[in-house]
């Protein structure tokens, strides 16, 4: 248990940040799941559209500090590769 006021405040701040980051991570994974579902359905147009939104959401998570830049780039690159293999016209940025 924290003994000082500053340590107690730090615990409260960490709890708030954890909750926000958890929500951001969940939102990002929801967009990734949309791409996965479109790929599973074999719908290249829907997969390309879902990839576009997932990519922007993933890069937004990077700016918020939820993910490391290289981790996000790797995930987007792998999803892009799978969408292209399906026949969608995904563009890498």
Query: Domain limits at 56?
Result: 5-86
Residue 93 located in a structural domain: no
The number of distinct structural domains making up the chain is 1
Q: Using one digit for the tens of pLDDT, what is the confidence trace for 27-61?
A: 999 999 999 999 999 999 999 999 999 999 999 99
CA atoms within a 13 Å half-sphere pointing along the CA-CB vector of 61: 29
Mean pLDDT of 5-12: 96
> pTM score, two decimals?
0.81
Residue 35 located in a structural domain: yes
With cut-offs at 50, 70 and 90, classify the pLDDT of residue 91. Answer: low
Q: Using one digit for the tens of pLDDT, what is the confidence trace for 62-75?
A: 999 999 999 999 99
Question: What is the average pLDDT score of the chain?
Answer: 93
Contact in structure between 48 and 89 (CB atoms under 8 Å): yes
**At 42, which CATH number?**
1.20.58.110
């Amino acid at each position: 248990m924290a003994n000082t006021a500053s340590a107690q405040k730090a615990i409260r701040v960490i709890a708030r940040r954890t909750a926000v980051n958890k929500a951001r991570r969940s939102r990002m994974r929801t967009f990734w799941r949309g791409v996965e579902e479109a790929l599973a359905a074999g719908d290249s147009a829907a997969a390309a559209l879902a990839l576009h939104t997932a990519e922007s959401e993933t890069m937004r998570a990077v700016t918020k500090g939820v993910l490391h830049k290289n981790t996000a780039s790797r995930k987007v690159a792998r999803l892009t590769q799978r969408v292209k293999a399906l026949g969608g016209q995904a563009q890498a940025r």
